[in-house]
Amino acid sequence: MLDEQVKNQPEAKAIWFLETDVTYAQLGNYIDSFATALSQRGVKKDDVVALLLPNCIQYVVSYYATVKIGAIASGINPTYKALEILHHLDEVGAKVLVVLDHSYAKQVAPILDKHKLDLIIATNVVDLAHGLGFKRGLGKFLHKIPKGKVPEALNFLDLLKTPPNVPKVNIDPINDPAVYQLTGGATGVPKAAVLTHFNCVSNAIQCKLTQFDRRPGMAIVGVLPLFHSFAMTVVMNGGICLGYRMMLWPQPPPIHVLVEELLEYGPKGGTIFPGVEILFSRLALYLKEHPELKTKLAGMFRLCTSGAGPLHRYVKDPFEQYTGAKLVEGYGLAEASPVVSSGPFNKKDQPGKIGLPMTSTDWGIFDATDFSKGMKPIYPGEGDPKEEERDIYTGEICVCGPQVMKEYLNRPEETAEIIKTYDDRTWLLTGDIGFMDSTGQITIRDRKKQMIKVMGYAVFPKEVEELIGRHEAVREVAIAGIPNQETGEFVKAWVALKPEFKDKVTSDQLLEWCTKSLSHYKVPKEIEIRDEIPRSNTGKVLRRTLQKQDLGYD
């Protein structure tokens, strides 16, 4: 897809970042030089290249150079602490790490003795931001250019000086991995979903086909982080597939900065805008407070999709009112590359439903306790079934399509739990529970898995329990989500202390430790110290019991 755009529209803009534009020809040259440099330094097919980078030009270059030589890209959340990065590197078996120089000392150096890397490549966030205004753009976020030393690392810019001579690699798109995408899956601790070249390209094309009102010269707003599968596909791969310009920010900008820069640098043809609900909510509130901007922004927001959690009408309606845009809800999961469905952009989407499946994708509602029992019936009437009837039609949402992952890396048992065969076709069990109406649209009722959503971020209780359990004073810990109007949910921890630490360690001390050890969205908002953590007869932590008690239910 990339080479086609480089050939067909070399002078078109491919990326905007920190007030710097990169054309498709420039991007193609960067990628070919970097791919050649990786190959010359021993990186070969099926080697894993981990990307510990924020949204930037280097992320796109590194990703495409990696997959071009048959190696496997794996993006790491750049806000991760050292322990979390170590888990990611171990899970995917990374041999190469591309990292920001200023991140190295705190995030990477402490774990180098625990995971061997063949190559470390260091870059600065502004290495390819050569536009005259890049310092002004950076100043809106960081005020100064952060730098750091990375001993014995290769320099990213030096590698880009390599004359391009990309080796020819035989790639089987159906079976060869392109990406190891970390996910919590349907069963707890993060693991790597193996996404093939076929998965990634198929999902990008599927997303392109949903954009029925696309026009030449549009751009895609890249506020979502590229390490996440949503942005990887919709912003980066989707942008390349469409031949549009990605507008990338190194971190989510303040709303007033986003609006200012879209007005100054955004395309006249409008934007495709993928995001999470809270972003659209804040944007609607800002535009409500500044009605003079509505005329200036007319046509800027055209095709907007909210993902990573439900889209509520109290967000959708004001956003559409103040922008004149169309905002629909999308649904997906990393195991599906990730996009499964989207609300239609023809004003026939139904708030509360997750739209219709992508082209070449089927979905069905299967018995949630036994997949072999087959599909549940579709509600035959108009609208939705009455509350007392819903259980008849409710089950687990299962998906069949070209975007469904190959497997979980090195986890055959977990793979077998969610990849099933039905009617000689491969189906993915999503872990979400819902029912289907007569139009084919699905309403999600609950999560089979106990994932917590905090401002669109996925938090997996088992992972946080394992990390907090490393504290010397903690004997047992349980994590669950508590409903919250501002963030969707917040993380709460219930902790039982070891006898020798009772009356010596407080909740505030544990919270301080968590703040230093975990990413901000994983840090519990509350920690409750208890004598015991409730368990079932089989020893399973009763998270739902703790949630009910917290909410005032017996």
Of 322, 325, 312, 324, whose CA–CA distance to 274 is shortest? 325
What pLDDT score was predicted for residue 17?
95
Residues 459 and 427 reside in one and the same domain: no
| pLDDT value of position 538 | 42
Reported as a single tens digit per residue, the pLDDT across 29-48 is: 999 999 999 999 999 999 99
- What are the pLDDT digits (tens) for 465-493? 878 888 989 888 889 999 888 888 899 99
What pLDDT shows up at residue 187?
45
pLDDT > 80? residue 339: yes
Work out the burial of residue 482: count CB atoms within 10 Å of its CB; fewer than 13 is exposed, 13-18 middle, 19 or more buried. Answer: middle
Q: What local confidence, expressed as pLDDT, does residue 147 receive?
A: 83
The pTM score is 0.83
- Across residues 131-151, what is the average pLDDT? 65
Residues 402 and 456 in one domain: no
pLDDT at 448: 66
Q: Which residue, chain included where needed, has tokens 């966030």? A: 125
Domain span at residue 441 reads 354-447
Residue 452 and residue 481 in contact, taking contact as beta carbons nearer than 8 Å = yes
Indicate the residue among 412, 447, 482 that finishes a domain.
447
Whole-angstrom Cα distance, residue 246 to residue 237?
10
Please give the Cα distance from 307 to 318 (Å, whole number).
17
Number of domains comprising the chain = 3
Question: Is position 58 within any domain?
Answer: yes
Under 8 Å between Cβ of 294 and 304: no
More confident residue, 58 or 457: 58
Q: Last residue of some domain: 389, 424, 447? A: 447
Q: What is the pLDDT of residue 449?
A: 64
Residues 466 and 532 in one domain: yes
Mean pLDDT value of segment 118-143: 74
Crossing angle for the helix pair 24-40 and 57-68, to the nearest 10 degrees: 60
By the 8 A CB rule, do 300 and 307 touch? no
Task: For 203-259, write each residue's pLDDT tens digit.
Answer: 999 999 988 777 888 999 999 999 999 999 999 999 999 999 999 999 889 999 999
Do the beta carbons of residue 122 and residue 105 sit within 8 Å? no
- Same domain for 157 and 45, yes or no, is yes
Query: CATH number, domain at 402?
Result: 2.30.38.10
296 in a structural domain: no
From the CB of residue 433, how many other CB atoms can be counted at a distance below 10 Å?
Answer: 18
Whether the pLDDT of residue 134 is over 80: the answer is no
pLDDT digit string (tens) for 458-469? Answer: 787 777 887 888
CA distance 465 to 507: 15
CA distance 96 to 341: 34
Beta strands across the sheet bearing 154-155: 154-155, 119-123, 96-100, 48-52, 72-75, 177-183, 191-196, 407-408
When mean pLDDT is compared across 260-264, 357-361, 386-390, 402-406, the lowest value belongs to 386-390
Give the pLDDT confidence score for residue 446 in this predicted structure. Answer: 67
In this prediction, residue 170 carries a pLDDT of 97
State pLDDT tens for residues 312-329. Answer: 777 888 899 998 888 999
